[in-house]
A = this chain, B = another copy of it.
């Protein structure tokens, strides 16, 4: 699936992903009204509104983009009907030939992690049948539990040619609370110093995100596609200096980059998340695309034409990132 992601990126010339993270407050009143008219103010009604909203956006942008990233929490909050809308969205995006990254941030151990991997990337045995529960192409995974939590995902990735993005350095303000802590133990000192900078000596150790990044690089090597690994990483757009280091630490991993736009990440800061082949990163925008019509810049579309506003925002985002990438190559 990493090959398919790369093909889609080359075809669209758009190293971006649209985050399908619908909040009811984003959804134009007309869509909500008509869903509630059919299903009442129920979880089913909310899920129907979410699905109609997603469908309109996907229809408006699918030819421009390589991938979407539905955030499952936004569906899970509407219970079973919400998760049915998640599944419908995954299926619909796959019909449209988009790569689907399930932003599920799952992570557990042993047979439990294996169950999550089957749920989102693999198949599950029921009697003599092998069935597909949710069927995303990629999933995001939390590394806090260590290799025991990751290995079952690697097994499924190899078997099904699917992929994962492991949280390394997240985009949020408090991500440093644990992720930036400097590691002092001998095991860390014994690791090769891949980043090539002097920060270890300055503050007595590599930060945890770098240790996690090194583990990602190790897992990535064990799970290679043709040029990139099935194992990628999440590194927030809001920490470009760390992104630069982590790019070198994990050369074979695609980096999924949240935090562009609404969270403050700028295109010029993101060029170092890419490798010299122009690949290796995929930048996510959620609210900035799906709720574009609420921004002053796209307000003229109005709520009625929200999907066209999303399309315009996608075009602008692709232009913004490609412009920054071109400027980098000119400077090189």
A32-67, CB under 8 A of B: which get 1 and which 0?
100010000111011000000000000000000000
Q: Are B181 and A79 in contact (CB under 8 A)?
A: no
Q: Are B203 and A181 in contact (CB under 8 A)?
A: no
Of chain B, the residue at the smallest CB distance from A259 is B109
A98-133, CB under 8 A of B: which get 1 and which 0?
000000011111111101101110001111110111
Q: Are A74 and B115 in contact (CB under 8 A)?
A: yes
Chain B residues with Cβ under 8 A from A21's Cβ?
112
Q: Are B185 and A204 in contact (CB under 8 A)?
A: yes
Of chain B, the residue at the smallest CB distance from A124 is B77
Q: CB within 8 Å of B: which of A140-176?
A: 142-149, 167, 170-176
Q: Are A203 and B184 in contact (CB under 8 A)?
A: yes
Looking at the assembled complex, report how far the CB atom of A172 sits from the nearest CB atom of chain B, in whole angstroms. Answer: 4
B-binding segment of A3-11, A208-216, A305-313: A208-216
Number of A residues near B (Cβ < 8 Å) is 81
Looking at the assembled complex, report how far the CB atom of A86 sits from the nearest CB atom of chain B, in whole angstroms. Answer: 9
Chain B residues with Cβ under 8 A from A106's Cβ?
73, 105
Q: Kindly state whether residue A239 has any CB partner on chain B within 8 Å.
A: no
Chain B residues with Cβ under 8 A from A184's Cβ?
182-184, 203-205
Q: Kindly state whether residue A195 has any CB partner on chain B within 8 Å.
A: no
Q: Kindly state whether residue A134 has any CB partner on chain B within 8 Å.
A: yes
Q: Kindly state whether residue A177 has any CB partner on chain B within 8 Å.
A: yes
Q: Kindly state whether residue A1 has any CB partner on chain B within 8 Å.
A: no
Q: Are B203 and A126 in contact (CB under 8 A)?
A: no
Tell me whether A170 and B145 are in contact in the complex, defined as CB-CB below 8 angstroms, given that A126-B24, A133-B79, A182-B183 are known contacts.
yes
Looking at the assembled complex, report how far the CB atom of A297 sits from the nearest CB atom of chain B, in whole angstroms. Answer: 22
Looking at the assembled complex, report how far the CB atom of A166 sits from the nearest CB atom of chain B, in whole angstroms. Answer: 10
Q: How far is the CA of A142 from the CA of B166 in the complex (A)?
A: 14
Q: Kindly state whether residue A269 has any CB partner on chain B within 8 Å.
A: no
Q: Kindly state whether residue A87 has any CB partner on chain B within 8 Å.
A: yes
Q: How far is the CA of A127 from the CA of B38 in the complex (A)?
A: 13
Q: Kindly state whether residue A80 has any CB partner on chain B within 8 Å.
A: yes
Q: Kindly state whether residue A279 has any CB partner on chain B within 8 Å.
A: no
Q: Are B183 and A133 in contact (CB under 8 A)?
A: no
Q: For the complex of A and B, list the 8 residue pairs with the smallest distance between their C-beta atoms, beginning with the closest.
A: A184-B184, A41-B127, A146-B177, A79-B133, A146-B174, A73-B115, A182-B185, A77-B115
- Of the A-B pairs whose beta carbons lie under 8 Å apart in the complex, a sample of 24, sorted by A's number, is A21-B112, A24-B125, A36-B126, A36-B127, A41-B126, A43-B131, A73-B116, A73-B119, A76-B115, A76-B119, A76-B120, A76-B134, A78-B124, A78-B133, A109-B172, A142-B144, A143-B178, A144-B179, A145-B167, A145-B175, A146-B178, A147-B177, A148-B174, A186-B203
